[in-house]
Amino acid sequence: MENLTLNEVYRRGEATLEGAGVPDAEVDALYLTENIFGADRTALILHGDRPADSGLCRRFFDCIDERASGRPLQYIMGTWNFMGYDFYVGEGVLIPRDDTETTVLRALKLLNGREAPRVIDLCSGSGAIAISLKKMMPQAQVTALELSEDALGYLKRNAERNGAEITIVKGDVSTDAEKFADGSFDMIVSNPPYIISNQIDTLQRELSYEPRMALDGGKDGLDFYRIITERWAAKIKPNGWLVYETGEDEHEATADIMKASGFCDISYDLDLQMYKRTTYGRFGK
Ligand SMILES: C[S@@+](CC[C@H](N)C(=O)[O-])C[C@H]1O[C@@H](n2cnc3c(N)ncnc32)[C@H](O)[C@@H]1O
């Protein structure tokens, strides 16, 4: 490979991604430049005229080709930041999304003032919610429940990576509520699968790399809100909270499901795109 400077490498990478129609080509090329050469935007401005290591160049352009073919940037890098914490990610586990930070922030607000609150994160995936909560509220006793073996592998490694002492349980939200005593938790938090089954294949191509069981919310997208609300409500202490991430346009239906199971003070938070992204309510006031 010819000798290239860091700037040339970065620009070629960006041009390839742009040509392949990757949205945010510039941002993705920058992430990969930083991930592989350790050079962020400032380093490119200051030292971009320095020669780029040829071995690293090969790796960089391989990654650019993978990204151009549609593989998500986060899986290529193998790591992603959520709430200021680094998480291992890869095929088999959902990539933590910025929108989910809305749910973590609401959970923290609702738990504020409770001594050693007990929290369970259902459908925990990479552990993004459970681990961030434990890091930001160390006095909380956090359990993370997940069904997928692949996701559980990431969840365990992410808890270790972040030094988060949480309890990790393999379990199925459909059948395993009975393993917990009634009134066990101050809060249930969950970002369950919530995409309408027949819409999954029509969404952006990157989603096809993520596990279907992390996305598929059934015929109307609401299966998991019904299952969790109906089967897990009694596990919440009186005056405890149920906090969901909800899909676009799912707040009202989720609120109705919660009302029917004895929740009150139901409300929502908007995400940065102004969708009602977090739906929460108090159990049995
Ligand atoms: C939308 S992802 C959320 C992952 C993570 N909580 C986050 O916010 O990034 C939903 C997760 O639910 C898990 N899941 C699907 N069906 C489940 C079930 N029946 N019981 C427990 N977990 C399940 C999937 O494996 C996936 O990790």
What does the pLDDT read at residue 201? 86
Residue with tokens 């102004």: 274
State the CATH number of the domain containing residue 209: 3.40.50.150
Query: Which range of residues forms the domain containing residue 27?
Result: 6-70
Q: Residue 259 domain-assigned? A: yes
What is the average per-residue pLDDT within 71-98? Answer: 97
**Residues lining ligand 1, CB < 6 A?**
94, 96, 100, 123-126, 128-129, 146-148, 151, 172-174, 191-193, 213-214
- In 3D space, the residue among 24, 25, 21 whose CA is nearest the CA of residue 12 turns out to be 25
Above 60 in pLDDT, residue 174? Answer: yes
Question: Is the pLDDT assigned to residue 51 strictly greater than 70?
Answer: yes
- Cα of 45 from ligand 1 centre, angstroms: 41
| Count of other CB atoms within 10 angstroms of residue 209 | 14
Which of ligand 1's atoms lies nearest the C-alpha of 93?
27
* Same domain, yes or no: 145 and 218: yes
Shared domain for 154 and 273, answered yes or no, is: yes
State the pLDDT at residue 205.
84
Q: State pLDDT tens for residues 73-83.
A: 999 999 999 99
Q: How confident is the model at residue 206 (pLDDT cuts 50, 70, 90)?
A: confident
Q: What's the confidence (pLDDT) of residue 95?
A: 98
Amino acid symbol at 261: S
* pLDDT value of residue 285: 57
Indicate whether 221 and 172 sit together in one domain. yes
- Let me know whether 205 and 253 are in one domain: yes
Name which residue sits closest to atom 24 of ligand 1, judged by CA: 214
- Strand order, beta sheet including 236-245: 167-170, 141-146, 118-122, 185-190, 236-245, 276-283, 263-270
33 CA to centre of ligand 1 in angstroms: 31
Q: 150 and 66 in one domain? A: no
pLDDT band, very low/low/confident/very high, at 1 (cuts 50, 70, 90): low
Q: Which pLDDT score is estimated for 284?
A: 85
Residue 242 has pLDDT above 70, yes or no: yes
**Per-residue confidence (pLDDT) for residue 127, from 0 to 100:** 98
Distance (Å) from CA 266 to ligand 1 centroid: 23
